[in-house]
Amino acid sequence: MKTINTLSLFILFGMIATKSVGTDFNSKSGNNATEYAPSENSATSPCITEKEYSLLESRILENKKLLQSKNINLSNSSNSITLLNWPLRPSPDLTDCSYYHISAYVDQNTTSGLVQDYNCGSNTYDGHRGTDISIWPFNFYKMDNNLVEVIAAAPGIIIDKHDGEFDRNCAATTVSANYVLIQHADGSYALYWHMKNGSITTKAIGQSVIAGEYLGVVGSSGSSSGPHLHFEVWSGSTVATRVDPYYGTCNSLNASSWWTSQKPYKETGILKASVHTTDAVFPACPATETSNESTSFQIPFQGPGLSPGYAKFYAFLRNEVSGLNATLTILNPNGSSYLTWSYTSANDAKVRAWAWSKVLPTNPGTYTFRVVYNGVTCSSDFEITTSTGILSNGNSKDLKIYSSSSNRKTIFELKNSSIQQIELFNLLGEKVNHVNINERKAELNSPTSTGIYFYRLIDDKQLIYTGKLFLE
């Protein structure tokens, strides 16, 4: 389970491992941040070329003429500006706390070579006419698994759409994107660009959609440097009528916001908090990332490239701000702190990932990794247990567990004569019983409550083996 208390191509990406000082990020120890700037769309590789804009305008005229010949009403039915909802949503299978960041706003400065966004900043590129909403982290993994959907920001009629184009582009291309273009009741248009091949809505040109209706999946088709949605709004049927849905001091295109609820210029916070068996792998575009994330760890645990008993704890940040502090905590099953540490941002970044090597708990139970940054809380649960060689009911060639209903005893029969202690824990990680043994058979008083419990066997070398059983 993952939770968030408050509420994306990317610029900077860095990691840190804090078990001990070192310089090799991929080693089991290290205290080194690695940052890089991947390619982004730019004035020389724009999301949409002038030729494509011209083609879009022509298709609008042709399609409207065809639809009108079929008596489909395309006349403006509203004098009010269409207000827009957020054009993305996570699929039910996505458990991240958030999934996007703004990689480029509309360029308000019409002078070639100069840029300015609506907030008088520079988060745009020369000539950019839409808003680029990038998905992150693990953007190609999210695309491959349909984890971020494109939805209609407002009700309207599909005026144009296109599908079937390659969707793993990493740079400028002359091939079109997969897209949907919708006309609203006030005569304005919304363009949804770069979508995944084969994901476009099956609705036909001329059919209506409602706000929030599925249109496709975020992809990297057309001239794209990675999976993102290029969302563009026009007040009329030509690109010359473009508007910026965000309102701010430096918006010279329109006098008010077109959003039903405008998001902040920077949403500083946490996209994801997760626990990993080893370092996540971020290959070059367009290869799919390998997260190595896990929600279950068997004790004793050995992660590739890590010291015995250690795992990697990741915090994926959005709009990181220099000087801000993050508090990171591993919580015991009962809610108390197992381990807490902190981190201070050294500089600003659109997105950045940090990873720490930390020793895992050894008591069985469900633990929580929690990150608090800029007042935003993001958390994920993970389980400590092991059932290697032991079935869920406790029976295997090395161990048999059964209950005696006559005297409410739980009986352990052990093949390994070196086991010296048996401990029993509930789901909160609380020890409910234990016994010291010197034979291969031991009896524990069964708990009064039925349900799932964890047992822990400790041998003469203090090695620990754990498992799960159900007591009736």
pLDDT tens for residues 239-271? 999 999 999 999 999 999 999 999 999 999 999
Let me know whether 153 and 217 are in one domain.
yes
Check if the beta carbon of residue 324 is closer than 8 Å to that of residue 332: no
Among residues 108, 175, 99, the alpha carbon closest in space to that of 139 is found at 99
Let me know whether 281 and 352 are in one domain.
yes
Question: What is the number of domains present in the chain?
Answer: 3
- Long-range CB contacts for residues 321-326, cutoff 8 Å, separation at least 24: 321/266, 321/268, 321/345, 321/348, 321/374, 322/346, 322/347, 322/348, 324/268, 324/373, 324/374, 325/373, 326/371, 326/372, 326/373
In a domain, 347, yes or no: yes
Check if the beta carbon of residue 163 is closer than 8 Å to that of residue 198: yes
CATH of residue 353: 2.60.40.2550
Let me know whether 365 and 429 are in one domain.
no
Let me know whether 377 and 408 are in one domain.
no
CATH of residue 447: 2.60.40.3080
Amino acid (1-letter code) at residue 279: D
pLDDT of residue 162: 98
Look at phi and psi of residue 323 and say left if phi exceeds 0, alpha if psi is from -120 to 50, else beta. Answer: left
CA distances from 148 to 13, 135, 151, 261, 360 (A): 21, 8, 10, 20, 32
pLDDT of residue 347: 92
pLDDT of residue 386: 56
pTM of the full structure: 0.78
pLDDT of residue 7: 27
Check whether the bond before 286 is cis (ω within 30° of 0).
yes
Which tokens belong to 43? 């004035």
Q: Name, in order, each residue with C-beta under 8 angstroms of 70's C-beta and a sequence gap of 6 or more.
A: 206
pLDDT of residue 324: 97
In a domain, 263, yes or no: no
In a domain, 390, yes or no: no
What is the per-residue DSSP string for 84-135?
B--SEEE-TT--SS--EEEEE------STT----TTSS--S-TT--SEEEEE
Among 335, 352, 384, the domain boundary falls at: 384
Q: How far apart are CA 208 and CA 206, in angstroms?
A: 7
Let me know whether 75 and 208 are in one domain.
yes
pLDDT of residue 391: 34
Q: Name, in order, each residue with C-beta under 8 angstroms of 336's C-beta and a sequence gap of 6 or more.
A: none
Let me know whether 375 and 433 are in one domain.
no
Q: Could you report the average pLDDT of every consecutive run of 10 residues in the chain (472 residues)?
A: 35 31 28 41 82 97 96 86 98 97 96 96 96 96 98 98 97 92 98 99 98 99 96 98 98 97 98 96 94 90 90 96 97 97 93 94 93 98 66 52 71 76 81 81 80 80 72 72
pLDDT of residue 237: 96
Let me know whether 217 and 318 are in one domain.
no
Let me know whether 355 and 421 are in one domain.
no
Among 357, 384, 411, the domain boundary falls at: 384
In a domain, 36, yes or no: no
Q: How far apart are CA 350 and CA 141, in angstroms?
A: 20
Q: How far apart are CA 448 and CA 96, in angstroms?
A: 37
pLDDT of residue 463: 62
CATH of residue 57: 2.70.70.10
Let me know whether 72 and 188 are in one domain.
yes
Give the SS3 label for residue 364.
coil
In a domain, 37, yes or no: no
In a domain, 257, yes or no: no
In a domain, 19, yes or no: no
Let me know whether 372 and 305 are in one domain.
yes
In a domain, 425, yes or no: yes
pLDDT of residue 4: 38
Which tokens belong to 201? 């809505």
Whose structure tokens read 């020389």? Answer: 44
Check if the beta carbon of residue 221 is closer than 8 Å to that of residue 90: no
Let me know whether 218 and 129 are in one domain.
yes
Query: Residues in the chain, how many?
Result: 472
Range of the domain at 431: 399-471
Amino acid (1-letter code) at residue 440: R
Nearest-5° Cα angle at 365, 296 to 276: 25
Burial class (CB in 10 A: 0-12, 13-18, 19+), 253: middle
Among residues 351, 332, 354, the alpha carbon closest in space to that of 343 is found at 354
What is the per-residue DSSP string for 153-187?
SS-EEEEEEE-----B--S--SSPPEEEEEE-TTS
pLDDT of residue 58: 98
Let me know whether 285 and 234 are in one domain.
no
